[in-house]
Chain A
Amino acid sequence: MGNHSDGGPNDSGTVATAGQNEVEKFQDPGIPPHRLRLADTDPKAAKKAERQVALLFGISVVGTLIFLVAYFAIDLGHDSPIATIRLQNALLGIGTAFAMLGIGTGIVHWAKALMPDHEVSEERHAIRTEEDRQAAVRIVDDIVEETGIKRRPLIRNTLLGAVALAPLPALAIFGDLGPRPDDKLAHTLWAPAPDGRLKRLARDPDGTPIKAADVTMGSAFHVIPEGLNELSEGKLNEKAKSVVLLMRLDPELLNPSPGRADWAYNGIVAYSKICTHVGCPVALYEQQTHHLLCPCHQSTFDLTQQCKVIFGPASRPLPQLPIAVDSEGYLVATSDFHEPVGPTYWEREQHVLERNA
């Protein structure tokens, strides 16, 4: 059974063992005898099947008409109600479905019920014959000989070198796909303005500044830096780094580490909203457990431990934004974040050291 193209002394084993037992095996009885279908013997059944096929094709015609009627008769004018869109979508879909399924099931039913259903056996042929192989080898040998590439190693080696180098420009030309990263990831809009004015914390999305008195116990504000909405370009890039979550809890619960005691105001704390795992907004604040949860990969940060990771795939705590209150009672950031926000990148540690130098 099969092409015994094996037979080398080293690859007998399994294969040969199986082959040797051939005597004991059941003999292949061949293709079972063909059974006639009802439609093969009964002209009535054949006629019935024929009518069924025609009916299915008829259904397809109806489907096409449904589609056309739904397309032209339903007006998707401006401000058409959602129900109209849903209705048109359903009718277009059902029209297409009937049109397609009618044709498809019709053809298949035709093939199954009326076309000959004799199974036939076809011989397989060798994918490669030995004769072809030898001819091909001869041709390749001749080609190699005629080029003389074997006799002229200088040509061969210089060609190899040239071909190896030639793709380099194709790589280099993509150099302008993007700018150099430099330390762009290490800075956000929260840095004080050049004149030393501190940035106020503003509500996302409308950009109105937030007073400390507005932040009641248990509340969570989604915060952007003042002036972000007025940026003419790069707004989303800046927003992607500078969004902050502002929460107020009992000051007793905060446990700030040395040096961070004045980063909060009266129990109000601000933390970067960008997950240190892969950058989703960590926006889920549980006001009783004081946990922050990232909805993408479930990293959980504990606000009472300076946003240390207590569960999930993130490794680092969320960076904290130092805040204070200005003379008018508005919350301001006293400086930029002391470390880059968001997911870890290769050069991050360098930027951390630079920032805290």
Chain B
Amino acid sequence: MSSNATPDASVFVAKTSGGRITDFVDQRVGGSGILREFGRKVFPDHWSFMFGEVALYSFVILLLSGTFLTFFFDPSMAETHYAGSYTPLKNVEMSVAYSSSLNISFDVRGGMFMRQVHHWAALLFVASVSVHMLRVFFTGAFRKPRELNWVVGSVLLILSMAAGFTGYSLPDDLLSGNGLRIIDGVIKSIPVIGTYTSFFLFGGEFPGTMIISRLYMLHILLVPALILLMIVMHLFMVVVHKHTQYPGPGRNDGNVVGYPLGPVYAAKAGGFFFIVFGVVAIMAAFFTINPIWNYGPYDPSPVSAGTQPDWYIGFVDGALRLMPGTIGDWKVEQVWFGYMFTFNVLLPALVPAGILFTVMFAYPWIERWITKDNREHHVLDRPRNAPTRTAIGMAGFVWYCVMWAAAGSDLIATHFHVALNDVTYWLRALFFIGPVIAFIVTKRVALALQRKDREIALHGRETGRIVRLPHGEFIEVHAPLDEYKRYKLVGFESPAPLPAVPNEHGVVDRKEKRRAKLSRWFFEDRVAPATPAELEAAHGHHGAHEAVEAAESQKTLSH
């Protein structure tokens, strides 16, 4: 078949040895096509687009430093007596896992550094995932076609918390041991299967001798593998969708404006990896994290004041603290039909986290149903231009923060010299009213910022220059905007509420009525973008105090 496969003249022959190797690989994997597709792909540039990269890079740092740690860590719960160089623990009875963690810290050169890099990077990983998700939420980047990628991102958030939690427990120190004990208590409160689940997880009674090696497997194999899988899916979808962009002149839903991948964007993104690594290295160099030598080996009897989980589990711990176990003399925990219903643990452990994650996962569909907006969106909303969404986001954020703060209620008490009990009472109140206040305030602030945008778009920027007119009136000179700057302020949609529409049988059903109500709630208070006609009018009676308010906040319904 290939008898006539003589090289013809047009076939490319590489001249240098590097070129020959590249060509060899290219002929077998088709790299040219990939490079042609992606080499000049355009990426918009904005600082808030970098958090996903921070997360990705922290994950790479975690893999690198974590691999180093596995060479020295021994996840055994066998008893041993410490013989390392940290004298305040000399000859103390402890588990092999704790002893090897101490050895990493004190007897392996660079071990302390790598432990601290790993732990700081872990905290940064979850933090950057969270900030990235906040950015995506508040700019509406989760809208079509990116709903599924939002879901993958939410799964990544949960996985990153799981990775963090399984790692937190590995050194088998007193702090993490008490953390595990709390988890055991929460698991035991689960109806029907709780006791069995606890025994299965710990291989018998708490603490047993299995839990560290089991968590170790989850921490270094299962969870990272899942994270990696999700990251691949996440990035694949980013490539399919191309990046979103902020509104501005020249940017619309049909294009993407930015810098080409090669060289500018690749250089910036590649260089940013080293920057993130450098920042983590500085933290690891000068700031202690998780001083396991202070906590001592795990022992079920002692406990330290200020026993808290790492920050990302804090909101659940805070919810556990806020829940009252007795109301007057009435016990929240109930005995029904001879079995225990531990509502004082179950409710705070499951309900707030359940609500947060359910709303998070479902939000793209909720908003899509209310707005009936089925178009693709590649231009982001500025948060102020979607006041209700921004307000919902802030309400959720404040709710989370109240629980988060509750996890540090004892430290709030000691550092601000207030009573621990009062901190709890206040936070209990804020748990309910905090989100409501946040919603109202955020919405008003967003609308006010929109009005300010309108004002600037129509009358220009305040220059601070006061001028006296011939007839004696003082005015402040406003500098008009150029058309590019103005477009940034006016180039957005301001949807009006969408009233109920009859279905194909000509009936407005209950669901549709409910949707219409929500649509009104969503879009009722709105500030329409300034129009050329209004600009014309504003320029018409220049210098006077124009009626900016007239054209806005029309609570009119279309149709």
Contact = CB atoms under 8 A, between A and B. Distances in A.
A114 to B, nearest CB: 10
A247 to B, nearest CB: 16
B285 interface: yes
Nearest to A275: B185
Contact of A295 (B199, B263, B274, B303): B303
A2 B253 contact: yes
> Which of A80, A117, A284, A343 neighbours the largest number of chain B CB atoms within 10 Å of its CB?
A343
Counting chain A residues whose Cβ lies within 8 A of the other chain, the interface size class is 35 or more
Contacts of B281: 93-94, 96-97, 100
A101 to B, nearest CB: 3
B195 interface: yes
A298 B531 CA distance: 58
A107 B274 contact: yes
A17 B300 contact: no
A333 to B, nearest CB: 16
Interface stretch (B356-364, B438-446, B481-489, B541-549): B481-489
A213 B401 CA distance: 50
Interface stretch (A28-36, A136-144, A259-267): A28-36
B109 interface: yes
Interface in A231-283: 234, 236-237, 239-241, 243, 273-275, 277-281, 283
A31 B321 CA distance: 53
Nearest to A311: B421
A104 B299 contact: no
A346 B200 contact: no
Contact of A240 (B205, B285, B503): B205
Interface string A302-322: 000000010111111000000
B399 to A, nearest CB: 18
A180 B199 contact: yes
Interface in B523-539: 523, 529-533
A28 B249 contact: yes
A240 B376 contact: no
B165 to A, nearest CB: 15
A25 interface: yes
Contact of A127 (B178, B240, B531): B240
Contacts of B260: 120
Given A296-B178, A298-B424, A315-B332, A122 B113 contact: no
B454 to A, nearest CB: 12
> Which of A97, A117, A184, A234 neighbours the largest number of chain B CB atoms within 10 Å of its CB?
A97
Nearest to B337: A349
Contacts of A31: 249-250, 257
- Closest 6 A/B residue pairs (Cβ): A93-B285, A278-B185, A104-B274, A107-B271, A31-B250, A101-B278
Given A85-B112, A120-B259, 20 more contacts: A6-B374, A28-B249, A32-B249, A71-B109, A92-B110, A92-B285, A105-B275, A119-B259, A123-B255, A178-B204, A279-B182, A279-B185, A295-B410, A313-B321, A313-B344, A315-B344, A343-B188, A343-B342, A344-B342, A345-B189
Interface of A: 1-6, 10-11, 13-15, 17-18, 21, 24-26, 28-32, 71, 74, 76, 78-80, 85, 88-94, 96-108, 110-112, 115-117, 119-124, 127, 174, 177-181, 184-185, 204-205, 222, 224, 234, 236-237, 239-241, 243, 273-275, 277-281, 283-284, 295-299, 309, 311-316, 342-350, 353
